[in-house]
Copies of this chain bind each other. A is one copy, B any other.
Amino acid sequence: MTQSGLGGGPHLLRLMNCAAVLQAIRDAGTARLTDVVQATGLSRPTVTAAVSTLIGDGWVEETEAPESDLPRMGRPARVVRFRADARHVLGIDVGPHKVYCAVADLNGNVVTHIRRDVDEPGSYAALLEHVDSTMDLVLDEAGVDRSSLAAVGIGTPGIVDEYRGAVVQAPSVPGWDSLELSRALQDGIPCPVHVENDVNLAVVAERWNGRWGDADDLVLVQWGYRVGAAVLMQGRLHRGAHGAAGEIGFIDLEEEPQGVQAEGLGPLEATAGTSWIFRRARELGDHTSRDAVTVLSAAARGDPLATRVVDEAAARFARGLAPFLAAIDPELVVIGGGITLAGETMLSAVRSQLARRALVVPRLELSSLGDDAVALGAVRLALDHAERRLLDAYSAPDAKM
């Protein structure tokens, strides 16, 4: 084997061998060299050389062989491990009321996360500053330098052009629409920043989470202050022709269209979101609850007034959800967001309301990811890109991670 870097051919071949070996070790987590030879079909000298390169570059390290009951003959086998902490990724969930940052290693294990409530920001610039300072905080706490980030994923409300990394429409934050979010954050970050709609990321997290088995046609509805949905078809994110698939919150049902409401809420959000729920509870005489959280928790405990409010909200919600489901006919609908505080009370109310309206009622379930969903999806998004680039760096001559 020619090891000299003189010819482009052998050099490229050597890199591609590195990529194959890295992939095999990555998939196995920990592997004996013999396993890597078997998995890649490469010769042992080629694998040995590739492993040396990968150790030099910091992606792989030698480790202890796992204890074995078998008597050992000769030298112990060489065992290598993928260094999941060689780089990190950052997943960000940004909205008008919160910034949530999670740092994860290359295996997707979240090392540190910080969630901050933010006051309604007056401008996109104020919100960007919140993102920036929270990023600093979480990286500091994780002991991860910005320079060692492999990729950043960020979820935002609104319609996103994922190729440009830009927010195209986002009625909830002034100036946030038409924002080149990826470019705006890119300044202090030496790795690519990938932007995606927040609910799309939540459905990615639901699938990553693995709790729903092999449900391929899956709709996630995030139902909180805002109401949005994301659609997985045959296991893949369905963004729609204009990135607007799943915008259930803006469904406008009345004979006379309602249009965008106060605080930039869509008609369905304004009529069934948590702000309506809190208002309605007060209207019905609940003077003790401080916010929708208290009302929803009371409903989960079976409080009659709170349950009535949740029933009413479920009726309004199902009125918008039913035509949405008529288009797709999914196998499973997962409901996430603040509303899940009302638990089974809410779920059974939605189920019986759908039964009154829909030709077919799909399986309905509660998300178990709660407030973490979007940030976890952002971590998964960043990981997908980081993994592709990591392998590309070894397959393409001029790529560098």
Contacts and interface: CB of A to CB of B under 8 A. Distances in A.
Interface of A: 159, 169, 217, 229, 231, 233, 238-248, 250-253, 255, 257, 259, 315, 319-320, 322-331, 356-360, 362
Contact of A362 (B241, B252, B362): B241
B244 A359 contact: yes
Given A246-B326, A328-B328, 9 more contacts: A217-B241, A233-B233, A241-B331, A242-B329, A248-B327, A250-B326, A252-B322, A252-B323, A253-B323
A326 B360 contact: no
Given A233-B233, A253-B253, A328 B245 contact: yes
B319 A320 contact: no
A328 to B, nearest CB: 5
B326 A251 contact: yes
Among A239, A250, A357, A359, the one with the most B-chain Cβ atoms within 10 Å of its Cβ is A359
Given A233-B233, A252-B322, A253-B319, A240 B357 contact: no
Nearest to A320: B323
Nearest to A251: B323
Given A319-B253, A319-B255, A247 B324 contact: no
Contact of A252 (B169, B329, B357): B357
Contact of A322 (B159, B251, B328, B358): B251
B240 A329 contact: yes
A330 B241 contact: yes
24 contacts: A159-B360, A217-B240, A217-B241, A229-B327, A241-B329, A242-B360, A244-B359, A244-B360, A245-B326, A245-B328, A247-B329, A247-B359, A248-B326, A250-B326, A251-B322, A251-B326, A252-B322, A252-B357, A255-B315, A255-B319, A257-B356, A257-B357, A327-B327, A328-B328
A326 B324 contact: yes
A86 to B, nearest CB: 36
Contact of A323 (B238, B324, B329): B324
Contacts of A331: 241
Contacts of A239: 329
Contacts of A325: 327
Nearest to A168: B360
Contacts of A242: 329, 360, 362
A231 B240 CA distance: 12
Contacts of A251: 322-323, 326
Contacts of A360: 159, 240, 242, 244
Contact of A169 (B241, B319, B323, B359): B359
B359 A231 contact: no
A339 B170 CA distance: 36
B250 A359 contact: yes
Nearest to A169: B359
A75 to B, nearest CB: 49
Contacts of A319: 253, 255
